[in-house]
Structures are given as C-alpha cells and as structure tokens.
Amino acid sequence: MGVNAVFEALSHPVRREILGLLKAGPLSAGELAGHFELSKPTMSVHFAKLKDAGLVAVERHGTSLVYHLNMSILEQALSGLLDLKEMKK
C-alpha cells in the first residue's frame, strides 16, 4: 500500500461515496453500482482503484464480488499524514 495510491483513490467523489456506503457493511458490486448512474466499466475502474489502494477487500461469493471496507489502510495513511505535520513543527 502506498500512501499516494490511497490519496489518489480518495480524490474522486464517487470512490469516497463508495467507502461511505461500505461503512454500513459489505455490499456486492451490483448493490454498490445501484447507487450510481454510471456504466459498469466506469464502476469497475473505481472499484479497482479502491482495491489497488487497499481501501477495500473483495470476496467472491459465487458469481458476485462482495466489497468490504478496510479501515486500517485509511487509518495508516491519515496517521502518516499527521506525522508529517508534526515533523514540520
């Protein structure tokens, strides 16, 4: 996990909204996509960015992909950012 990948993933409002939806619990790709008026390929790109950054974990259940929020990665990135701020003082 690179901190740059995390912040790049967080830079898009759709990806932030996906993470917000996952705070309530795991959801399938179809359930998540139902909240947006975007094409499947566009949603796949957003899911891939989140997965590559380590912000979500994915499990296959039959033919469905189920996404889970990985808060520890987000916490690590924010902690690293705060450490940088402390070093500036």
pLDDT in tens, 38-66: 999 999 999 999 999 999 999 999 999 99
pLDDT in tens, 8-37: 999 999 999 999 999 999 999 999 999 999
Structural domains in the chain, sorted by start: 3-88 (1.10.10.10)
85 has pLDDT over 70: no
pLDDT of residue 30: 95
pLDDT of residue 88: 59
pLDDT of residue 25: 96
Q: In this predicted model, which residue has the larger pLDDT, 89 or 56? A: 56
SS3 string, the chain, reads CCHHHHHHHHCCHHHHHHHHHHCCCCEEHHHHHCCCCCCHHHHHHHHHHHHHCCCEEEEEECCEEEEEECHHHHHHHHHHHHHHHHHHC
Q: Do residues 43 and 33 make contact, with C-beta atoms less than 8 angstroms apart?
A: yes
pLDDT of residue 89: 55
